[in-house]
Structure 1
Amino acid sequence: MIFSSLSYFFGFLVLAFALAESLVSNEDIYLGTHNASSILETRNIWFVTFTKSGEAFKEFDDMWEATSSAYPNLHHAKVLCDLEFEFCKSQGVLEYPQIVVLRNGVWMRNVLDDSNHSVRSTLEFIEAHVTPCEMEFFKSGFKCLTEEKYEGEHLDSQEAVFELEEDESWKRVNTLRKPCPDCFQWEPIWLSITRNVAEELTMGYVNCDAEEELCAYYEVNKFPTFIAFQQLDALKYEGPLDYRELLHYANQLASYKTLHIQPQEIELVEGLYPTFFIFFHDYALTLEDEQSIKRMELYLAGNAPLFQSDSTTLANRYGVHTFPAFVSVRNGEPFLYHANTPRQFRSHERVRNWIRQASIPLVSELSPSNCHKMLGRQLSVIALLNPESETYLEDRASLLKLGKHWFQFQKRRERNFISHQRVKKYTALTKAKRSKDSKKIKRIKYSVVEHPIFTESVSFLWTDSTVWQTWLLTNLGYSENLINKVTVFIIDNEREVFYTQGQDGRPLELDEPSLFSTLTAILDNAHTISHQNMGKATICGGKAYNRSVYFKPFIYCLILFLSCIMIILLIQKRRRSQPPRTQPILGFMDFHPLLTVKAD
């Protein structure tokens, strides 16, 4: 019995050592769906051959075996794609044979395919993907004693290892964490995008398990997250996680450039783009101005075109009197970037927040791509138009006119508000000077006048009524016939309610006085106008964010906690109000109060 147990134990040790030896030697490991985690979860570098079984690619396999024999300790694995077709497809490998490098669980960009499999190209392929320490280990099996010397060494530019450098090239990074359940399926998508823009962009991965400080610095909280870098400036991709959208955004980054614009071209540009940006400067374009333009290119790629001009004619057209200046032109209406100091003018966060507001047109078509962007505003005016109607173009022009007039109306409100605040400030300053209170004078003198933005509270949208009829019935419960007339809704995105009637109780129409009075009343006091609750979905589809549902458990726990505290306080108060009990005799035993204890 003991002998048989020992034999089983020694047999297990032999198998374990054999498996360990296969993992550290150049013996091939056949990889598939069942054992992919064996190398995907390691921190070693692997050379993985995607090929077919049989004699189909024997010449390619023999060439790799002969070349890699110079590195006895090279980690190598094979995938037979005719037997593991789904695994190869999931990794983005549709053509084989090819050899792909896996480093720290991440597929590298460069591959060695059948078109270039000479001895020299194979050796160059291996040497380009390993550090000197790894090269020494693969040849001799001895670990490099000065490994820290090469930790910061930059690898070949074809690697997906990402390092931040202060250069002028674009970089785009996918940050991932291994426990992320969806990150694995994004690897072939990211590899495909990388191959499309490899010449224009430097693409890479950041594993947030290994680079926690870097991910924390750029506030990466969800995975996968896609970030674009220009020098040390970073911008998160906030669009839909779709292959076409990501590829389109990557191509926009790769080809985005600032163009010079002349006064005679402005009419054409306004007709082509509902929103575009202009950087105005004088004849002396400083280094700081060039850096600001580069930063704007990063923020505007995929959103709107950027132009630059030194024309005083264009500057006067858009109300620019000081240089440099940023202007957003939305449906022909200028929207200036205000800054009191040069530091504010070049503040990354202020510029980025301003672009988020200024890149949305005053009037635009409601579509799935821009729907979530519109939710950043409090109210949305939606006009349902029928393309087959004779008044279709006239209705669109009326809505555009309403959007422009609302913008101008709100700009006047802003100017009046700022003027009123300044009058209050200087009136208080005059009174303080009369009282000769130096501290009060200094406090009022250096106080900042508030500059509210009223123009970004409402978005004007139009869409096809025939397409959105089902959406209205499902989400709003509105089932009237919308085919033959223009229907206007006002949706409160914060309160998740909608309005179909104006302040006068009549149905909403494309009429400026009644619509503007209704919008002003809703913004000032939303409860003065009758409204209806939205259905189960939001304006963009999907479940609505019902705050009461999400906060109910927290409220219940808070009430329970406060109840326990109140009960404890009442018990303590009741105990204090009761007469004191007889002190226990001998410190540990209670006796009847009439009992007398006598000592012997």
Structure 2
Amino acid sequence: MRFGSPYSLLLAVLAGQSVFSGVLAAGQADKAGDTVVADIHTDSKTPESPAKAADALPEVLQLTGGNFKEKIAKGYWIVKHHSPQCPHCLAVAPTWKKVVNHYTTTPVSPDLGATYTQAYPLNFGDLDCLAYGDTCAEFGVVSWPWFNVFKDGKKVDSFEKTERTFETLSAFVDKQIDEIKSNKVDKTKKKAVPAVTTTPNPTGESLPLDTERFTKLITTTRDAWLVKFYAPWCGHCQAMAPAWAELGKEMKAELNIGEVNCEAEKRLCKDLKIKGYPTILYFQNGERVEYDGLRGMGDLVSYARKAVDSGVKEITDEEFKALEKKGDMEVAFVYFYDHAAVSEDFSALDRLTLNLIGHAPIYKTKDPLMSTRFRIFAWPKLMVVREGKPSYYNALAPHDMRDYGRVLNWMKSVWLPIVPELTAANSHQIMNNHIVVLGILNREKADDFTLAKKELKEAAMEFMTQRAEEETAERKRLRDAKQLRLEEAEDRNDDRAIKAAKNTRIDVSRKKEVHFAWVDGIFWERWVRTTYGVNVKEDGARIIINDEDHKLYWDTNTEGGAITPSRSRILATLGDVLSKSPSIPAKSTSSSIERVFLWFKSGSNGHPWAAIIFFLVAILGLAFWGRGKIRRKAAGYFRLDGKEGILGGLGVGGPAGGKVD
């Protein structure tokens, strides 16, 4: 042991005091949750070793009195001041080790590969105050263990809680990371005034990225990048390569374009959870979103331009009316705020923009005229306008507007137009779990296409109005029934019945959701023809009502003819299909085996025990049938006209005779 100063010598002398003094000090320290420096003691019994899990972790950097100031002179440092003889220090050591290991090995997010200490100027260290007591005293350490935060050599914060768990210490570290982020943003804003930021994509090409360049240019910056992850042997990647090169030229000085060879950068692609090639990701402000659209040149450029213009824009009522009048704004989100809005509200709003690229723009406004027009009387408020019809996000308090996951889920449920075009990117969202009124249209006949789309949209709007009226009427009926029960209970002075009536919930029965959409019957000709038997070039525009969950569809109206793009025919047919006993027969898009599986699946959802019994009976039946078949073969004969014979199934009406709907 060495003594850096008289203060250190005094600590060593105090450390050799009697056991009685040590016990007194320990008792006083236990009350406060700390070990007091002036009353430290030694004990003949050594404390138990830390947890085995922590033993396997790397040691925290040990600082000394000689290098302490030099180390903490740059960046953020979180330092634990301790003594090797302090019971509380020994107790917290394994937890502190886990905390440090978490921030030095865990990526900033599942999307990005850099750890916290790589992405931010964040460092961790330990300082032994028994050996370097003068250094600890200089920075106000009065008890052990003590956690100080240093920024560029100056102490800026301390951990003052007595509960030193992984959660509390992690929360303390997260607080410092938030401070680093805010300082980074402030510096960016200050530098933005005198100096213009570097022009994106100055050479007009796709920049090859390795791990080092990716971390430097994307992970640790807030810059926007559209990056392709590929493999040289991938056929789809090779086919897309010319379009990607042209995209780089097209977005010169507008958006950074990059590419990562996952064969050469396997660790980076693994950290980013790349599961297929090519994968296209858009990065901005430390967040990312995957592009899942078509990969043609025009599609890529369209997405890239929307990404560049994806920020939250301030708008007035007059400007919004002009966009509505223009007619090309099918869906738009509007955030209403007032003078009480704080920076956290706008930060939460900015996070949402990345996921809205290619779906809908988002605006913010404090224009009183716009608030009056859309009947906004409380702020903040988030609204979506679809085809001129507004609906609102249900937030009970301002902090609910900052619930990123909840707000985004709501946006995803309403960001499609009332009658969207069915594409490869949105097909699952539109078709799954819904009844879909699908218009199969011909874009080549412009007038017919416009008229058919208008009729489909009018039918959708009328259906939505009908559904809303039905829900309102049902809710009113339930409320009237509740009020009647309450009045009857009050007349009888029945307290239990009164309480039960008051607790009755008004639950409107959930109905099968119905979506409307249209598909380009020329572009998707093969799929439309093989699935629904429709050829728009010969048959003209047609309407199909599809139930993807049960692999069923309806292509005839109540009169037996084809469903044409007429709102009256669409609504009449849809009403029949949604009734409990539809008169129009359904057709199937699946095979016989698939239909049996779907029937069994739907039955098992409502009656699981009955399904299990049926399954066991079916297995036993197959077993007996197979056993009998083996015996017949053993007898030396078989039936030529049976199902298993040569002639089986080839007659009229057999399985090979044609598709049975």
Aligned residue identity for 1:258: V
Work out whether residues 313 and 364 of structure 2, in 8 Å CA contact, stay in contact via their aligned partners in 1: yes
Aligned residue identity for 1:410: R
User: What residue is the counterpart of 1:334 in the other structure?
Assistant: 390
Percent sequence identity is: 18
Mapped pair 1:352 → 2:420? no
Distance 1:422 1:441, change over 3 A: same
User: What residue is the counterpart of 1:586 in the other structure?
Assistant: none
Which among 237, 247, 252 is matched to residue 306 of structure 2? Answer: 252
Work out whether residues 428 and 444 of structure 1, in 8 Å CA contact, stay in contact via their aligned partners in 2: no
Task: List per-residue Cα deviations over 1:374-412 (Å, max 9, x = no partner).
Answer: 324431331535754765544433333222222322333
Aligned residue identity for 1:501: T
Measured in 2, the distance between the counterparts of 1:173 and 1:369 equals 19
Mapped pair 1:444 → 2:503? yes
User: What residue is the counterpart of 1:141 in the other structure?
Assistant: none
Aligned residue identity for 1:282: D
Correspondence 1:152-231 to 2 at 5 A: 159-161=213-215, 222-223=275-276
TM-score of the superposed pair, with normalisation by structure 1: 0.51
Distance 1:371 1:185, change over 3 A: closer
Correspondence 1:272-421 to 2 at 5 A: 272-367=328-423, 370-376=426-432, 377-385=434-442, 387-388=444-445, 392-420=449-477
Measured in 1, the distance between the counterparts of 2:253 and 2:446 equals 48
Work out whether residues 498 and 531 of structure 1, in 8 Å CA contact, stay in contact via their aligned partners in 2: yes
Task: List per-residue Cα deviations over 1:106-144 (Å, max 9, x = no partner).
Answer: xxxxxxxxxxxxxxxxxxxxxxxxx9xxxxxxxxxxxxx
Distance 1:414 1:482, change over 3 A: farther
Q: CA deviation at 1:272?
A: 2.4
Aligned residue identity for 1:374: I
Which among 518, 532, 536 is matched to residue 461 of structure 1? Answer: 518
Mapped pair 1:502 → 2:557? yes
Measured in 2, the distance between the counterparts of 1:162 and 1:422 equals 61
Q: CA deviation at 1:339?
A: 3.1
Measured in 1, the distance between the counterparts of 2:367 and 2:347 equals 20
Q: How many residues align?
A: 400
Correspondence 1:436-585 to 2 at 5 A: 436-437=495-496, 444=503, 457-461=514-518, 463=520, 471-478=527-534, 482=538, 486-525=541-580, 528-534=583-589, 548=597
Work out whether residues 422 and 518 of structure 2, in 8 Å CA contact, stay in contact via their aligned partners in 1: yes
Distance 1:526 1:362, change over 3 A: farther
Secondary structure of 1:278's match?
strand
Gaps of 5+ in 1: 1-130, 132-153, 537-543, 568-600
Distance 1:163 1:395, change over 3 A: closer
Measured in 1, the distance between the counterparts of 2:507 and 2:295 equals 41
Q: CA deviation at 1:468?
A: 5.8
Q: CA deviation at 1:533?
A: 1.9
Work out whether residues 474 and 535 of structure 1, in 8 Å CA contact, stay in contact via their aligned partners in 2: no
Secondary structure of 1:322's match?
coil
Which among 273, 293, 314 is matched to residue 239 of structure 1? Answer: 293
Task: List per-residue Cα deviations over 1:426-473 (Å, max 9, x = no partner).
Answer: 66677788543499669938x68569687x621132645x66665543
Q: CA deviation at 1:260?
A: 2.3
Task: List per-residue Cα deviations over 1:81-110 (Å, max 9, x = no partner).
Answer: xxxxxxxxxxxxxxxxxxxxxxxxxxxxxx
Q: CA deviation at 1:163?
A: 11
Distance 1:185 1:499, change over 3 A: closer
Distance 1:525 1:262, change over 3 A: same
Work out whether residues 161 and 204 of structure 1, in 8 Å CA contact, stay in contact via their aligned partners in 2: no
Q: CA deviation at 1:353?
A: 2.1
Measured in 2, the distance between the counterparts of 1:249 and 1:362 equals 21
Measured in 2, the distance between the counterparts of 1:469 and 1:200 equals 35
Q: CA deviation at 1:361?
A: 1.0
Distance 1:389 1:257, change over 3 A: closer
Distance 1:222 1:243, change over 3 A: farther
Correspondence 1:255-274 to 2 at 5 A: 255-270=309-324, 271-274=327-330
Measured in 1, the distance between the counterparts of 2:212 and 2:267 equals 23
Distance 1:365 1:183, change over 3 A: closer
Deviates more, 1:516-525 or 1:277-286: 516-525
Measured in 2, the distance between the counterparts of 1:424 and 1:474 equals 51
Distance 1:548 1:387, change over 3 A: same
TM-score of the superposed pair, with normalisation by structure 2: 0.47
Aligned residue identity for 1:475: T
Secondary structure of 1:272's match?
coil
RMSD: 5.7
Task: List per-residue Cα deviations over 1:168-225 (Å, max 9, x = no partner).
Answer: 655778889x9x9969969x9699689968986697989896898x77xxxx584466
Secondary structure of 1:494's match?
helix
